[in-house]
Structure 1
Amino acid sequence: MSNRLFNFCAGPAALPEAVLKQAQAELLDWQGKGLSVMEMSHRSEEFTQVAETAEQDLRDLLGVPDNYKVLFLQGGASQQFAQIPLNFMAEGGSADYIDTGIWSAKAIEEAQRFGHVNVAASAKGYDYFAIPGQNEWQLSDDAAYVHYTPNETIGGLEYGWIPEVGDKPLIADVSSTILSRPLEVSKFGMLYAGAQKNIGPSGLVVVIVREDLLGNARASCPTMLDYSVAAKNGSMYNTPPTFGWYLAGLIFKWVKEQGGLEAMERLNQTKQRTLYKAIDSSELYSNPINPVDRSWMNIPFRLADDRLDKPFLAGAEERGLLNLKGHRSVGGMRASIYNAVGQDAVDALVAYMAEFERQRG
Structure 2
Amino acid sequence: MIHNFNAGPSILPDQVLQEAAQAVLNFNDTGLSILEIGHRTPLFEAVLDEARSLVRELMSLGSQYEILFLHGGGTTQFMQVPMNLLDEAGTAAYIDTGVWSSKAISYAKLFGRVKVLASSQDANYTYIPKNFSVDPPVTYLHITTNNTIYGTEWHRIPDGKGVPLVADMSSDIMSRVTDFSKFDLIYAGAQKNMGAAGVTLVVLKKSLLGKVQRKIPGILDYQKHIEAGSMLNTPPVFAIYVTLLTLRWLKAQGGVAAMDKANTEKAGLLYDALDRLPVFKPTVVKEDRSRMNACFVMKDPALEQAFAERCKQEGMYGVKGHRSVGGFRISLYNALPLSSVKDIVALMEDFAKTHG
What TM-score comes out, normalization by structure 2 length? 0.97
Three-state SS of the structure 2 residue aligned to 1:72 is strand
Give the drift of 1:124.
Answer: 2.7
Q: 1:190 aligns with which of 179, 185, 188?
A: 185
Percent identity (aligned): 41
Give the drift of 1:182.
Answer: 2.1
**Structure 1 residue ranges, 4+ long, deviating more than 6 angstroms after superposition:** none
Provide the rounded CA distance (Å) in 2 between the counterparts of 1:250 and 1:278. 33
Three-state SS of the structure 1 residue aligned to 2:142 is strand
Give the structure 1 partner of residue 267 of structure 2: 272
Find out whether 1:90 has 2:122 as its counterpart.
no
Give the structure 2 partner of residue 246 of structure 1: 241
Give the structure 1 partner of residue 170 of structure 2: 175
Give the structure 1 partner of residue 32 of structure 2: 35
8 Å CA contact 2:279–2:355 kept in 1: the answer is no
Give the drift of 1:185.
Answer: 1.7
Give the structure 2 partner of residue 293 of structure 1: 288
Three-state SS of the structure 2 residue aligned to 1:39 is coil
- 1:1-361 mapped onto 2 (5 Å cutoff): 5-133=2-130, 136-361=131-356
Provide the rounded CA distance (Å) in 2 between the counterparts of 1:194 and 1:321. 24
Provide the rounded CA distance (Å) in 2 between the counterparts of 1:19 and 1:92. 47
Give the drift of 1:126.
Answer: 4.2
8 Å CA contact 1:198–1:339 kept in 2: the answer is yes
More moved, 109-118 vs 325-334: 109-118
Give the drift of 1:218.
Answer: 4.7
Provide the rounded CA distance (Å) in 2 between the counterparts of 1:265 and 1:143. 33
CA RMSD after TM alignment: 1.2
Give the drift of 1:28.
Answer: 1.2
8 Å CA contact 1:201–1:244 kept in 2: the answer is yes
Q: Which runs of 5+ in 2 are unaligned?
A: none
> Over residues 267-289 of structure 1, what are the superposed CA-to-partner deviations in whole Å (9 max), with x where a residue is unaligned?
00000000000000011001131
8 Å CA contact 1:118–1:140 kept in 2: the answer is no
Give the drift of 1:80.
Answer: 0.4
Give the drift of 1:229.
Answer: 0.6
Provide the rounded CA distance (Å) in 1 between the counterparts of 2:126 and 2:318. 23
Say how many residue pairs are matched: 356
> Over residues 285-342 of structure 1, what are the superposed CA-to-partner deviations in whole Å (9 max), with x where a residue is unaligned?
0113111110000000111122221221111111110010001111100001101111
Provide the rounded CA distance (Å) in 1 between the counterparts of 2:345 and 2:213. 51
Three-state SS of the structure 1 residue aligned to 2:69 is strand
Give the drift of 1:168.
Answer: 1.1
Three-state SS of the structure 2 residue aligned to 1:37 is coil
8 Å CA contact 1:229–1:237 kept in 2: the answer is yes
8 Å CA contact 1:28–1:36 kept in 2: the answer is yes
Give the drift of 1:100.
Answer: 1.2
8 Å CA contact 2:6–2:331 kept in 1: the answer is yes
